[in-house]
Structure 1
C-alpha cells in the first residue's frame, strides 16, 4: 500500500478545456481568465490543459514521486513530504511558472473525502518541493500536485499513500439535500445552473453573515482571486480546479464556471478569505 517509498508514476495525460487552488479540513481551509482544468486520475497520471471546449488525450513526459522522511508515516506525527518532478529521461524539472501566486498547489484528501487540505510545498531545487505536514488519522489518502512547468500547461500528478494509525470509519459520500451550510459564522448557499455531465455549469456561492443575514462584501484576494474551487468525484478519480468568473469580486456573490466530465457524485470545496482568515466551504452534489 505505498508505504513511504518513492513511487514514480506512469502518466496518462488528459487535455481538458473548461471555463473555469489554503489549508483546511472538512470544515475549515487552500489570469484574468476563467479557465479551469479537469484531470482523470488513475492513481498515477497527469493532466495538461489550456484553451476552451476541446478534449485531447496524449502521453505525458513528466513523472512525479511522493516520499516521506520516515520509514512509516503515522497519523498525528509531523513528517516531511518531498515531491520530485522529473522529465521522461528521469532528469529533474527545475523551471516552473507561478500559478495563482504559487509554484505548486498540493491537495490532500482521505478515502471518504471528509478530510481536505490545500497547502503549498516550497521549491528547493533539483526538481524537489518539500513541506512539513501531518495526517489526522490512519488510512488511505490521495495526494494531488498541481503545477505549471515553464513553457507547458497546467499539470496534475497524483498518488495514493497509506498512513499508519487508527483509522476512522468511512462515511458514505452522498449528495446534500440542501446546498446551504454554515462555516465560521458565515452562511453559504450554493446554486448550480445545471447538473448534467459535459455541459457548462455556473456555480454560484452566496455568502452572508449567519446571524444578521447581511451579505458579506469584504472578501479578500486569496491566491490572487476572490476564491478557488476544487472538485473531486466520489472515487477521487476526477479532479477539477476552478477559478472564478470575476476574480476581483469582493462578495457576497462569487461565481465559477466549470463542467463535470461524467455523471456521478462529486464533492467540492470553495475557498475564500475574510479578515486574513481562509475558510473552506464543502458541498456534495449529484451529476446526472
Structure 2
C-alpha cells in the first residue's frame, strides 16, 4: 500500500532564522551516468526564470520555508537514484546543478563537511544523517540502507561557494508494502543505547526559543561529550504535516573557552507555525554517534469547532426545528 506524499523544508542557522530566496525550477539533467534503472530521474534543463536572466538578476526573495522544493535560487537537487530495496545497502547518487545548469563542484565547508544529507521516512519513524563523497564530476554518492518499505524524503544541506546556505529536498521510495506508523507521542525524554536525553524548553511559532538538552548515562550526567562535526550536538527538526526542514546548531562551540562538554547542549530555534515537530539530536560519546528523537508541539493548536447537533426527527419524519405545524 503506497501513501501520498507532500514536500517540505527549510533551513536555519544559529539563533535560527527562517526563509530564503526561492526560485522554482525543473530538475536539470542529465548529470553523470545514472544507473540504468534511474534514467527517468533526470528531466529537461532548468528554465532561465529559475535562476535569473542573462544579466545575473536573481529571483525576488520570499519567506517560503526552504526544502519544500527541489530547486531554489537556481540550484537544483538531482537524484540519480530514486528507488531502493528495503534493508539492502544501495549507492544513493545525486548531483546539485547551479544557475548555469552545470554540476556544482565548489562548496563551502559547513560543520566540517561540504554537504550534509538527511533522510527521513514520511511517517518520521526513520532518520538518517549521512555524509556522501563527491566525485570530480560533481556526482555525490553514499551507501544507504533503508529499514523498511515506504516513502522517504531526502534533504541536501549545503552552501555553494559564494552563495548562501540552502536545503533542497527530493523524494525517495523503498519498494514493497508500505504500512506507515502513527507519529510518536509527544515526549521530552529519549533513551538510546543506555543514554537518557531530557529536553527542556518550548517551541514558540515566530519567536526564537531556547531548547536545552541534557545527556546522562546510567543516571549520571555526561560531562565529556566529544565534538562531532565541530559541535557537541546537532539538532534537526521536521514539521510533521509536510516535513518542512529546520537545521539548528548549538549555542557555542568546542574550544571557545566557555562551552562545556555536557551534560547540557543549548539550541535556539524559531519555528514558523503551530503543530507537531519531530526533533533529532545527534551527539557523540565514547567514539560513537547516537541519535535521540523527540516529538514536540509548537504553540496552541487551532480549536476545532464543535459539530452542530442534527435535530432529531419528529414522528412525522421531519426534523423538529422548534416550529409547530
Same fold (TM over 0.5): yes
Residue 43 of structure 1: how far off its partner (Å): 4.8
- The equivalent position to 1:206 in structure 2, one of 191, 214, 232, is 214
Question: Matches of residues 1-288 of structure 1 in structure 2 within 5 Å?
Answer: 4=38, 5-7=40-42, 39-46=65-72, 60-68=73-81, 72-167=83-178, 169-176=179-186, 178-192=187-201, 194-209=202-217, 211=218, 213-248=219-254, 249-288=260-299
Kept in 1: contact 2:150–2:180 (CA 8 A): no
The residue aligned with 1:23 is none
Give the direction of change, closer, same or farther, for the CA distance of 1:227–1:247 in structure 2 (3 Å limit).
same
The alpha carbon displacement at 1:173 in A equals 1.7
Aligned pair count?
A: 247
- Do the aligned partners of 2:93 and 2:141 also contact (CA within 8 Å) in 1? yes
Residues 147 and 40 of structure 1: CA distance in aligned 2, closer, same or farther (over 3 Å): closer
Shift in CA distance, 14/247, structure 1 to aligned 2, threshold 3 Å: farther
Moved over 6 A (4+): 9-16
User: Is the 1:227–1:247 contact (alpha carbons within 8 Å) kept by the matching residues of 2?
Assistant: no
Change (3 A) 1:72 1:86: closer
- Structure number, greater radius of gyration: 2
Deviation track 1:226-260 (CA, whole Å, cap 9, x = no partner) reads: 01000000034311101110222310011001101
Tell me the alpha carbon deviations over residues 147-178 of structure 1, each in whole angstroms, 9 at most, x when there is no partner: 110011111111012221233x22222541x4
Question: 2:244 and 2:60 mapped to 1: Cα distance?
Answer: 13
User: Secondary structure, in 3 states, of the residue corresponding to 2:262?
Assistant: coil
SS at match of 2:231: coil
**Structure whose residues are more often strand by fraction:** 1
Distance 1:14-1:196 versus aligned 2 partners, 3 A rule: farther
TM norm structure 2: 0.70
Shift of 1:125: 2.0
Q: Does the 8 Å CA contact 1:226/1:272 hold for their aligned counterparts?
A: yes
Report the CA distance shift for 1:72/1:283 in structure 2 as closer, same or farther (over 3 A): closer
Higher deviation after alignment, 98-107 or 80-89: 80-89
> What TM-score, normalized to structure 1?
0.79
TM-aligned CA distance change 1:195 to 1:92, over 3 Å:
closer
- Structure 2 distance, partners of 1:109, 1:61, is 25
